[in-house]
Structure 1
């Protein structure tokens, strides 16, 4: 941190806060003083091991706007690196904040490594008073007075966060806490089913009402399109290596086997596997039309991962429909992640360069595996050219480690896939239909 910084000065009573003005000797290890610093001048620590997803940063931003700064960054003057507060620094830069509170201190490099490794784990060692936490959460739900002056977007984020924390106290106390929050809501009865408003209000507030997935949830998004962000920790990092084509001798214990939605029902003895939707839209519209029920079905079926529903974005379709279909696909993937199901993202684009923006750039960068469908284009040079352009753009924008080309093992298509764009690894997998055709040819020849 090479720039100058403003020393902290208290606005409150000096009598009450005199002790906070005391400074340590610059030769002692530990915190020395509090200053306000331009966040853009603060260097990150290359040893920082914490990852901060977009939805966490959105919640931090909303909290700061609603409550002001209640925590500081910690900066080591000895090494010139940040020790704690990387997410808050990033949020401040994104929000255009001129200065952030920073605790300056002096630590050796070894001490800095120790702090980096232990600050968060030490905090996580605290035990939970479930009753006290639940009481505090309940009070937040009842009193939203502190949010009255907060902008609508930040208010929605904080209100949603409070809803997500319902029942968290019990989960923490029992060791059942999850990294995700499945959006849920109570099924409120129709007022017309009751003889009076008073009777309906009693039923509406009944804690025994059925709780279902909230199908109107708006998930966090960091892109201009509002397309939901995916959770990096729940992106599947395995790669399908076989496709089930109803062969009686197929190894159904293979956890990386691909199963196509249109091929249901699947073997009862199946173990894991990846569920894919590269088939006609009508065969998987159920995923959107019955979001809650289909999510329950996926959980019961215990898939190793689920691929993105491949809602069509045909070239001749209106732009709005294509964007909506990308939104639907990504919304469902985020919902399934919130249910704890790993997902495989799908690479999509059409004949317009704009599709690279809303269909590709809204996916996470650096994915371990991404999928793309390769249809039998019957020597249509224009379509094959666009397919290759899309692959190049995917690699340039996202840098996936591996791209699985579904249908790439097809004999007709494999001839056109000899000169794939460099910059990633490829796995060519035949389609379900292609696998079935090969089996039929063997049967009747």
Structure 2
């Protein structure tokens, strides 16, 4: 692959195609600071974009939050300065670009900053909110790194020293693709609390877990469970939602099928240790049919991720679950999505849980 070359250009905000997997987020406080700084300093900073496609849309590689704020302030027809790559980036290059613009940047010289006016620093964002956000980032990074470097013995030994090793096994199936068939006798009967996202550091993974794990979080936090799903078993949890390996709308069906196979295999293996399972419904609409492979008819325990912008699809997922179960008397759990999703769940008699980060920040739906 040729070395990338970046050339200055001007682009319309309306012609940008944001990356749906962009790993960087911005809080309301950060967005307000960016809006204020734009009013004071103008549109400082450049976007990183790719060549236009046949429809004139340019992939946006870096600068999603700036583009969003600028669009709100000046309108989508506004032209802004950007650096255009001489070719379309590969997926690996796109991921690297998104992170290296942060991790390969300079750090603050705190000795130098100590002589600056504290009031100005606070005004420019060096406040308690920033300190808390940095603290959360440190905790999340520590959790991710520790998941990588834990020894095999730690991962496969329980509190009593028992060994749990995932076999190279196949399971009974109801389809030509070999997607494992879940054991209907070990579907969840209730949502035992706490209901906790895996790998976020909010619940010690090696402590006894009396409730339910779910995986509505970033894939990297649970990707290693495909290599070794034993830690969930060793936590002695009552229930688990299937791992929500990402299945996007533009993902080829073959790749989506692999993601579905993986989560169903892991869930079926967990069931062999007595863990009760919620079937995961959170895949993009084009993969709905594939996502039911291996879920036996009559299954009544379901979970999904709530999104304010796709509430109609959550309704459809519920209807699909009821049709597959053959009854409207199902256990339907929705995680996240904000106040509108919460109200929809309450009106329909579904279980709704607020996102972990909102609970940590004291924001409740």
Using the size of structure 1 for normalisation, the TM-score is: 0.41
The structure whose Rg is larger is 1
